[in-house]
């Protein structure tokens, strides 16, 4: 499967090398790239989307982080019947001067942020109503993440909040925004592992995901974490993917 990707995509166009791709199993290729320019990562997702759509059984999963950047999706989460969600819509025209680049993208959700202290997971995966529906995929990604963080000493996490994400009480650690084309997913989860003072300062006047910026926390703020948290989390996360995504 890796050769199908390298035959179809010129990796150097996206600042990637052959060694950045590994085969996790007979159908899953993992791409890992730290401090990856967001624009290049987004273009690579689009290129990967085409390859996955055209190749039976292939899955491409991307583990990465990005320099400081803001992204804005198709719109804030809509309330279910009877719910009231007090969210603040981001209006780009009211924020002409932003401290970091802003990308308008296809995923669901509103304004969000990325920085080097996040673990980003982008699954380029064909959905199957019988084996991997969208809701099941999201639940599993969150469950895998919570299990790993529990083993690190971060307790009382859940993803049953009416607002999508991983929460500890009223504090949010991870966000999820998915796009789907031809039953194939892209975009994904951002997990706040480390604090980022520059991003925290920038968010003070914004409302990521429609929320007060103070809603967001990090794993670092809640527990002692491994010396290389991005790699440690990635390794444990891929074990769960390999064992449970058949």
Count Cβ neighbours within 10 Å for each residue of 91-116 and write b for 16 or more, e otherwise: eeeeeeeeebeeeebbbbbbbbbbbe
Q: How far apart are CA 142 and CA 137, in angstroms?
A: 9
CA 197 to chain centroid: 20
64 as an active site residue: the answer is no
In the three-class reduction of DSSP (H, G, I as helix; E, B as strand; rest coil), residue 168 is classed as strand
**Active-site residue identified among 49, 138, 176, 209:** 209
Q: Residue 71: how many CB atoms within 10 A of its CB?
A: 23
Paired with 166 in beta bridges are 174
First to last CA, the chain: 15
Widest Cα–Cα separation across the chain = 51
Nearest CA-CA partner of 113 in 196, 3, 228 = 196
Count Cβ neighbours within 10 Å for each residue of 143-178 and write b for 16 or more, e otherwise: ebbbebbeebebeebebeeebbbbbbeebbbbbbbb
72's tokens = 């804005």
147's tokens = 């299990």
Q: How far apart are CA 111 and CA 209, in angstroms?
A: 5
- Annotated catalytic residues are 209
């Amino acid at each position: 499967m890796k050769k199908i990707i390298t035959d179809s995509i010129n990796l150097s166009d996206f600042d990637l090398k052959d060694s950045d791709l590994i085969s996790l199993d007979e159908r899953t290729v993992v791409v890992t790239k730290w401090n990856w320019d967001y624009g290049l990562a987004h273009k690579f997702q689009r290129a990967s989307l085409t390859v996955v759509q055209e190749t039976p059984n292939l899955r491409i999963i991307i583990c990465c982080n990005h320099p400081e950047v803001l992204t804005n999706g198709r719109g804030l989460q809509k309330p279910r019947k009877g719910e009231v969600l007090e969210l603040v819509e981001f209006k780009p025209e009211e924020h002409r001067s932003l401290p970091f680049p802003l990308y308008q993208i296809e995923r669901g959700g509103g304004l969000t942020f990325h920085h080097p202290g996040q673990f980003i997971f982008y699954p380029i995966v064909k959905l199957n109503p019988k084996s991997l529906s969208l809701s099941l995929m999201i639940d599993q990604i969150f469950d895998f993440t919570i299990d790993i963080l529990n083993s690190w000493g971060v307790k009382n996490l859940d993803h049953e909040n009416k607002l999508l994400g991983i929460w500890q009480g009223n504090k949010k650690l991870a966000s999820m925004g998915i796009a789907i084309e031809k039953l194939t997913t892209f975009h994904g989860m951002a997990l706040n592992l480390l604090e980022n003072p520059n991003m925290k300062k920038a968010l003070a006047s914004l409302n990521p995901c429609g929320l007060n910026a103070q809603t967001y926390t990090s794993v670092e703020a809640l527990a002692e974490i491994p010396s290389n948290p991005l790699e440690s989390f990635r390794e444990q996360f891929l074990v769960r993917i390999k064992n449970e995504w058949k």
